[in-house]
């Protein structure tokens, strides 16, 4: 039994992907799930969203113990062993007068990102062809499956119900290995030309990676457990698309600004054609079952939440959420709660009745 891994990915950056993962992680915790938020983006923006600068300095500069995703793969890179046991940061909101241990257990845990992770790219590229057979097949499979095995170990350590994975906006070897680890993929998009072009690049690439990994799984199966090692478990690489989320569109009087209308209108057909590889049906975004949510640009709430180091829907009057902001906070909560349930339904993740 493995824990469901949901990746959030688009080839185009700047679509609000990291903020989406951050807020959904908090929302699933609020709904009673034990959550691992995994930062597999070498830019480590998700980690910076969860942890303050003082803690980041401790982790990246002062800590001699393995604490990041990159630390977990060091034994593999050095050729002295397999993946290390992953460290998790337990995330909790604190009041100004309250001091909590960073290791105090909670239901939301972070697999810490690392800018050094980009150094894993070359090894992942080199080992990809070796997965097909030969003397280095087992090491190659261990390298390519490292992310999946680390994530499943975090789920065991944390007793997690769900893993949310944040990725960088590119089609390199790190994201290939990360997406092979994913059971499901949610695609954040913005209503603009660049985001849709990223979507057009993403669809064929996912199909290619899925097929190539299935070929490697078949080769590994034919090699047999004895030749590969009985402890080596591999991901299935299903990478099933469950839908897209439209982010950061502007609204005036509840109508999308005209500059974005034509791009929003194109999203359903592009998603059907290039991601699902299905015949195109002309359909509006409001009635498209693949559209999980249209999230507004929440404007002043976002910088307020970043300053308070909490999700927008946890903002209180003490954080500056007063007057009209109070209603806006409630609206954000309802938007993300609805989205969380949508994704849970599509991925067969059970949310407990609180």
Band (99; pLDDT cuts 50, 70, 90): very low
- Eight-state DSSP code of residue 86: P
Q: Is the pLDDT of residue 110 over 50?
A: yes
Q: Which of 20-29, 54-63, 206-215 has the lowest mean pLDDT?
A: 54-63
Distance in angstroms (rounded) separating the CA atoms of residues 39 and 51: 12
Would you place residue 282 in the very low, low, confident or very high pLDDT band (cuts 50, 70, 90)?
Answer: confident
The predicted pLDDT at position 228 comes to 75
Residue 60 confidence (pLDDT) above 70:
yes
**Strand ranges inside 115-268, DSSP E:** 162-166, 184-189, 240-249, 251-252, 255-256
pLDDT score at 221: 87
Mean pLDDT along residues 210-217 = 96
Residue 103 reports pLDDT greater than 70: no
The tokens of 215 are what? 């070929």
Q: Which of 96-110, 264-278, 286-300 has the lowest mean pLDDT?
A: 96-110
By the 8 A CB rule, do 174 and 158 touch?
no
All structural domains of the chain: 5-245 (3.40.50.300)
Stronger pLDDT, 215 or 104, i.e. the higher one: 215
Pick 94 or 340 by higher pLDDT.
340
Residues in the chain: 354
CA distances from 280 to 182, 191, 265, 273 (A): 26, 19, 13, 6
What pLDDT digit, counting tens, does each position of 295-346 carry?
Answer: 987 878 888 998 888 999 999 999 888 888 888 899 999 999 999 999 999 9
Decide if pLDDT at 98 tops 70: no
Give yes or no for residue 105 having a pLDDT over 50.
no
Give the tens place of pLDDT for each residue, 223-280. Answer: 765 567 778 999 999 999 999 999 865 555 455 566 678 889 999 999 999 999 888 8
Tokens of residue 53, six digits: 């600068």
Confidence of residue 137 (pLDDT cuts 50, 70, 90): very high
Question: Quick one: which H or E segment has residue 126?
Answer: helix 121-127
Mean pLDDT for 59-87 is 90
Single out the residue of 307, 262, 327, 305 nearest to residue 22, CA to CA. Answer: 305
Say how far apart CA 342 and CA 21 lie, in whole Å.
14
Q: What is the DSSP letter of 111?
A: E
DSSP, res 109: E
The percent of residues in the chain predicted with pLDDT above 90, rounded, is 66
**Beta partners for residue 276, in sequence order:** none
Could you tell me the two tokens for 181?
A: 């680890």
Mean of pLDDT over the chain: 89
> Strand runs (DSSP E) across the chain, as ranges?
5-8, 35-39, 89-90, 108-111, 162-166, 184-189, 240-249, 251-252, 255-256, 291-296
Question: Which has the closest alpha carbon to 5: 205, 145, 142?
Answer: 145
pLDDT value for 248:
66
And the tokens for 334?
């309802």
What does the alpha-carbon distance between residue 40 and residue 117 come to, in Å, rounded to a whole number?
8
Predicted model pTM = 0.92
Asked if residue 241 lies in contact with residue 183, where contact means CB atoms within 8 angstroms, the answer is: no
What tokens appear for 137 in the block? 């097949």
Report the pLDDT averaged over residues 172-200.
93
């Amino acid at each position: 039994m493995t824990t469901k891994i949901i990746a959030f990915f688009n080839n185009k950056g700047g679509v609000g992907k990291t903020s989406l993962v951050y807020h959904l992680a908090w929302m699933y915790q609020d709904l009673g799930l034990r959550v691992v938020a995994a930062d597999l983006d070498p830019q480590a923006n998700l980690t910076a969203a969860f942890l303050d600068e003082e803690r980041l300095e401790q982790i990246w500069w002062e800590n001699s113990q393995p604490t990041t995703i990159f630390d977990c793969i060091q034994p593999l890179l050095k050729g002295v062993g397999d993946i290390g046991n992953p460290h998790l940061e337990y995330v909790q909101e604190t009041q100004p007068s309250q001091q909590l241990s960073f290791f105090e257990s909670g239901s939301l845990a972070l697999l810490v990102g690392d800018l050094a992770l980009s150094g894993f790219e070359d090894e992942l590229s080199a080992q990809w062809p070796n997965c097909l057979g030969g003397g280095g097949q087992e090491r190659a499979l261990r390298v390519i499956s490292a992310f999946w095995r680390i994530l499943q170990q975090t789920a065991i350590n944390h007793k997690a119900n769900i893993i949310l994975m944040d990725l960088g906006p590119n089609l390199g070897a790190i994201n290939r290995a990360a997406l092979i680890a994913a059971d499901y993929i949610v695609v954040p998009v913005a209503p603009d030309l660049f985001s849709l072009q990223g979507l057009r690049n993403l669809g064929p690439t996912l199909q290619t990676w899925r097929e190539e990994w299935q070929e490697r799984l078949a080769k590994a199966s034919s090699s047999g457990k004895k030749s590969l090692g009985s402890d080596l478990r591999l991901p299935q690489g299903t990478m099933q698309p469950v839908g897209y989320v439209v982010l950061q569109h502007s609204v005036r009087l509840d109508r999308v600004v005209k500059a974005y209308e034509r791009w929003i209108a194109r999203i359903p057909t592009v998603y059907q054609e290039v991601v699902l590889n299905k015949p195109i049906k002309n359909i509006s975004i409001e009635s498209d079952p693949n559209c999980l949510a249209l999230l507004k640009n929440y404007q002043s709430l976002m910088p307020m939440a970043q300053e308070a180091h909490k999700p927008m829907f946890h903002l209180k009057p003490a954080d500056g959420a007063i007057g009209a902001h109070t209603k806006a906070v409630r609206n954000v909560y309802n938007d993300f709660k609805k989205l969380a349930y949508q994704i849970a339904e599509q991925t067969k993740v059970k949310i407990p009745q609180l």
